Every structure is written in structure tokens, then in C-alpha cells.
Structure 1
Amino acid sequence: MSSHPLRLPYDPELQAVLNGMSFTPTITLDDIPRVRKVTCPTASQALAGQAVEHEEHVIASPEGNLVVSIFSPSTASKADVEVPHTDKVLRPGMYYIHGCGMFTGSRFLGVQMVLDWIVKLGVNCVAIEYRLPPEHPYPAPMSTHATELGIDPDNISIASTSAGGGLAAGTALLARDRGGPALRAQILECPMLDDRNNTFSAKQFATGGTWSQGSNATGWSCLLGGKGNEDDVSICAAPSRATDLSRLPPTFISAFAYASTLWKSGVQAEVHVWAGGFHGFMELAPTTAVSIASREARTAWVQRTLCSNINT
């Protein structure tokens, strides 16, 4: 008998997609160069066919310049707020941090997550090309030019999936503890939050699936410089270590344990756990029924929270 807990079956439509994919059972440090070659799409690949404008900016940081992409709707939106006596228009702003295990990916990876909000809701999105571990461990992946980027400084949110979801949650904690900037919302899809890697679901997926317990261990080791599972890990690096999540913004999340801590801390959280979904299913199997339903639920929440004046 297997020592691992029983897994719940995947949604049949997702299982069919998964059967046609190939994943390394456990990604190790030696695999990272190869994995990076297939997880860094270009802007044209990520934005193909979308009514989205793209421009690049360079921002200074303590360890050197970083490139950010600004994505905005190609046409005027109901969310546009004109600044009196200027030709400037401000929109709700979304800070997007790409995912992919902490050690790979680019600012264009998974940006499909925010495209609906850009096109349908008129949101401006900023995506950063953060420095990747293990070459740049925490806190290197972790800025105020909102108005010049066409963003309403009072309506800024943060979003991502997987590794980016963990970085987004950590950034929200950092903003809270440093006294700003105030965030309107955080959207955390299948976020990597806990370096201890000993949750029930981690044990269920010790091997197999799209993101195994072993691959998860590699990702955390890269981020923390090999110091995972120690007592002094910062809550900004591993947000699940935080016991007080008060004063965080309303949250859309797919991690029940973190949602529970948010509720206990007096923070509004809407949690969605989709039956039969594997890690990253929305991006890896976007045309399946459960992926479409999950995106619609997420977009509806973003509309209610950020753009209540918009009727899609």
C-alpha cells in the first residue's frame, strides 16, 4: 500500500488534457536551464489577438535596473477617470507578478490571467521582470509612478498564480508592514505560500501531477537560498508562516488554509477550490469547462471589487 494519501480524481476533461502533456516528475536544480527555455514566452506570443497596448519602462532598484511592461486597453473604457485640466486618464491598476516555481518564467508568462480585466474592465496592468532565484534569492524578487503610468493611485491591486501568487502575498504583507502603498485587492491563484512543504496536498502529490512535492521543494530552496523549513524564514517570503493577516486587502484565493487565517484576522476573502483541478489548470487547459467557469468567477470578483461601475 502506498504511504501517500489518496488523491482525488481529476476532472475528466482536465485529465484528458493532462494525458497529452509531459512533465518532469521532480524538477531539480540541474533541470532549471532546460525548463527556462520553454517557460519564457515573448510579448507577441502572450498578447496575440488581444486588443491590448504594450509598452516597456525601466525602473531603478537597489541591485540594478528592472524592466516592466505596461498593458492597457486599446480603446476607451467605462473605468477611465479623466484628470481635470489635463489630457490624462487614470484607470484601476493591477500589479502582476509571474509564476512558475520561483526559478523560471518571464513577465509575459501567464499574463492571460489579467487580459480579461484589461480588455473587459479597462484595467492597466504592470508586469515586472523580477530577478530569478537561485541566482537571486529572497528578497531580490520583491516600487511610485502610478499616475504617470495611467493608474489611479487609490485603486491598485496585486495578482498572480503559483510562485507569483506567493510573491504577491508577500508583497502585500510588505506593503502593510511598511505603511503602503495601500492595496485595493489581492488575487492569489494556487499560490506558493508555505516553504515547509508538508501540507496534506503536498503529500498527496509527492510525485506526479503538474507540480510535485519534490519540484515544490526545489522552488523553495531556490527562493530561500537553501534555507527552507527553518524557524527564521520571513513571512514576506513564505506568507503561510504569518499568524496575523489583519489589515490586508480583500482577497480572492484558491488556498483554503490561508483564506482561513485571513478570515480569523478580519479580512474579507473569497475562496474557490475547483473540484478535479490540477495545479495551474486554468492556464494549461484554458478551453475546458472548469477553466472557463473559474475565470468567469474571478473576473466577476475583480469587477465587483475594483470596477463596480462597469457592467460587462
Structure 2
Amino acid sequence: MTKPAFDPELRTLLAGMPLSSELTPELVHQIRRMPSPPFETDAERHDVALGEIALTVFRPANLDGPAPCVYWIHGGGMVMGDRFSQIDIPLEWLRELGVVVVTVEHRLAPEATGTTLVDDCYRGLVWTVENAGSLGIGQVVVAGISAGGGLAAGITLMARDLGGPEIAAQVLICPMLDHRNATTSSAQYSGEPGVWTREMNEFGWRSVLGDLTDVPGYVSPALARDLSGLPPTYVDTGTAEVFRDEDVDYATRIWAAGGDAELHTWAGGFHGFDALYPQARLSAAARRTRTEWLARKLGG
């Protein structure tokens, strides 16, 4: 099947990465045992245990007065990752925009199934807003990448339907939104090794859905019938990835409901390209564009 080509610089960088076409329980367990990449920050750090989940709060040093907060949800296909996965993305906003970052570590599939993951993330969001005074935060932005982008969309729908907490904006980075896995882009990136393939996507969704037959829109946000009343939304994806079509459709449906959405589909970008290779020119453009949008929505 013909498909969009990778950006040449990204293709060269990706050539050195060991790739697979499928996930197995054994491979997931191996990946889980690997530590998250190290990161550096001058921010103040505070860890919070909240029952089965964990949160870490990063505050800019010497912060004077309330600051906006980014509530971050990591990627990993619903089956991998922790609250420090891809943490360099929100920490970049902390440095450049002065935001507080709260990152959540939800339970993972297949040990946790159904609505557990999105419920965990919503619980962490509620805790964050309930403790806004002691955390020194004002407005809250929900953001996530890949599976975390799907969970971010899910808790934003929950917040709308349950009457809160109030969310100022949502940032959905190559979000995992549709368990049906039936788009053209899903078929295009199938049957050969990649960063995230159709087969891997099927594994992730099968792991999280378990025996669930009536899939709610909070779990698979593409199923949500009503996308009105959502906060300003940023969606970005690549042309050369599984989630391209479901992400474009989600933004289109927000527009159809009269909402505020900004969509960027980066030519030649594969799944998670700017998280994997932030130094690439296309990655730098994607990150800069997201940061500028967020700065506008936060009012400065």
C-alpha cells in the first residue's frame, strides 16, 4: 500500500533504532524494566502518592505567585511508560513559559483494564485542582502524548460532562483516540517494522479493553458523539503515522461543533517523531509551534 514517506532527516535518524512490527507481553515486560531516560531540571520537585497512582509536581524555582499548570499524561500505548516518560516536553514549557507541571503515573494495561486508566488520570486532575492553593497554580491545561493524548482527551470529556474541573486548554500530541483501528493511515503503517504500527495499536487497545464490549467515549474518545463545549484544543500528528486520520477527524469534529481547535499535520513525521528526535528540524518546528500556541492560550 502506498503511503507518505518519512522526512529525510528523520528517516536517517530512525535508521539506527531497532524496530519491531508487533508487541508481545514479553517485549512489553522487557521495555517496562528499562528506566526512563534521565532528565535535568532546576525545578523544585514534590512527589505525591495518591492510592494506586503517583504524581510528581515540578515548580519553577523562586516562583512568585500563582502560575498556570500543565497536567501531563505520558505515552506508552496504554501498556508502558511512567510519569517521567517524555517529561522533557512539559519541562520545556516550564522553562519557557513558567508553568507548573504535574505529571501522573496511572495504572497500566493489561493489569488494569476498562475505564481504570482514564479514571486514574481524572482522579489526579481532581486532586491537582483541589490543591491549587497549596500548589500555587491557577488555570490548568491538560496535555499528553500518544496514549497520554487519548487519555487527556478522555478526561477533558469527563470534566465537561461531570461539571469540572475547569480546563483552560488541551494539548493532544499524536493522540491515540480510536480503538477501531480502521482508518487508511492505520492500514498504511501495517505489516512492517515501525515506531508504532497497526499491530502494536491493536495490542494496546486489546490490552486495555479486556472484556469491555460497550466502549465509552472517555476510553476511546473518537466514539464521543458530542464534541461541543470543549476547551481550546491543539492537535498535532504526522503524515506518516498510524494515528494521522483519527487525529485529523477529531479536530474536524471539534470545528463542526463550533469549537476552537488548531491542527498541525507535519509532513513526513512518524509517530512521536519530536519526542524521539527533538534535535531534528521538523521536531524543532513542531515543538516551537506548540509552545507558541500554548503561550497564546495562557495569555502571554
Shared fold per TM-score greater than 0.5: yes
- The answer on whether the counterparts of 1:165 and 1:191 sit within 8 Å (CA) in structure 2 is yes
1:203 is matched with 187
Instruction: Tell whether 2:54 aligns with 1:67.
Output: yes
1:219 is matched with 204
1:14 is matched with 10
1:41 is matched with 36
- The answer on whether the counterparts of 2:160 and 2:229 sit within 8 Å (CA) in structure 1 is yes
TM-score (norm 2): 0.90
Q: 2:275 aligns with which of 272, 283, 293?
A: 283
- The answer on whether the counterparts of 1:160 and 1:188 sit within 8 Å (CA) in structure 2 is yes
Deviation at 1:265, TM superposition (A): 1.1
Deviation at 1:66, TM superposition (A): 2.3
Look at both structures and tell me which one has the larger radius of gyration over its CA atoms: 1
TM-score (norm 1): 0.86
- The answer on whether the counterparts of 1:68 and 1:127 sit within 8 Å (CA) in structure 2 is yes
- The answer on whether the counterparts of 1:90 and 1:150 sit within 8 Å (CA) in structure 2 is yes
Where does structure 2 lack aligned partners over 5 or more consecutive residues? Answer: 120-125, 237-246
Q: 1:66, 1:162 → 2: CA distance?
A: 19
- The answer on whether the counterparts of 1:243 and 1:261 sit within 8 Å (CA) in structure 2 is no
Instruction: Tell whether 2:230 aligns with 1:248.
Output: yes
1:111 is matched with 87
2:168 is matched with 184
- The answer on whether the counterparts of 1:51 and 1:119 sit within 8 Å (CA) in structure 2 is no
Q: 2:84, 2:196 → 1: CA distance?
A: 20
2:220 is matched with 238
Q: 1:199, 1:226 → 2: CA distance?
A: 23
Where does structure 1 lack aligned partners over 5 or more consecutive residues? Answer: 81-88
Deviation at 1:181, TM superposition (A): 0.6
1:38-84 CA distances to partner (integer Å, 9 max, x unpaired)? Answer: 3x416xx12x2x3322211122xxxx3422100111244xxx5xxxx
SS of equivalent residue, structure 1 residue 273: strand
* Range 290-299 or range 64-73, more displaced: 64-73
1:84 is matched with none
SS of equivalent residue, structure 1 residue 270: strand
% of aligned pairs identical?
Answer: 40
Q: 1:194, 1:22 → 2: CA distance?
A: 27
- The answer on whether the counterparts of 1:169 and 1:186 sit within 8 Å (CA) in structure 2 is yes
1:85 is matched with none
Q: 1:211, 1:29 → 2: CA distance?
A: 16
Q: 1:66, 1:256 → 2: CA distance?
A: 31
Q: 1:128, 1:134 → 2: CA distance?
A: 18
- Count of equivalent residues: 279
Q: 2:21 aligns with which of 22, 25, 28?
A: 25
Q: 1:120, 1:35 → 2: CA distance?
A: 31
2:107 is matched with 131
Decide whether aligned partners of structure 1 residues 226 and 110 sit closer, same or farther in structure 2, where only a CA change above 3 A counts. Answer: farther
Q: 1:164, 1:70 → 2: CA distance?
A: 17
* Range 273-282 or range 112-121, more displaced: 112-121
Q: 1:237, 1:25 → 2: CA distance?
A: 24
Instruction: Tell whether 2:127 aligns with 1:173.
Output: no
Q: 1:181, 1:215 → 2: CA distance?
A: 33
Q: How does 1:81-100 map to 2 (within 5 A)?
A: 89-100=65-76
SS of equivalent residue, structure 1 residue 57: strand
SS of equivalent residue, structure 2 residue 57: strand
1:144-197 CA distances to partner (integer Å, 9 max, x unpaired)? Answer: 212211111xx1110011000000000000111101011000000100000000
SS of equivalent residue, structure 2 residue 175: coil
- The answer on whether the counterparts of 1:165 and 1:192 sit within 8 Å (CA) in structure 2 is yes
SS of equivalent residue, structure 2 residue 285: helix
- The answer on whether the counterparts of 2:21 and 2:190 sit within 8 Å (CA) in structure 1 is no
SS of equivalent residue, structure 1 residue 283: helix
Q: 1:277, 1:66 → 2: CA distance?
A: 32
2:243 is matched with none
Instruction: Tell whether 2:42 aligns with 1:51.
Output: yes
1:292 is matched with 284
SS of equivalent residue, structure 1 residue 67: strand
Deviation at 1:37, TM superposition (A): 2.1
Q: 1:15, 1:149 → 2: CA distance?
A: 42
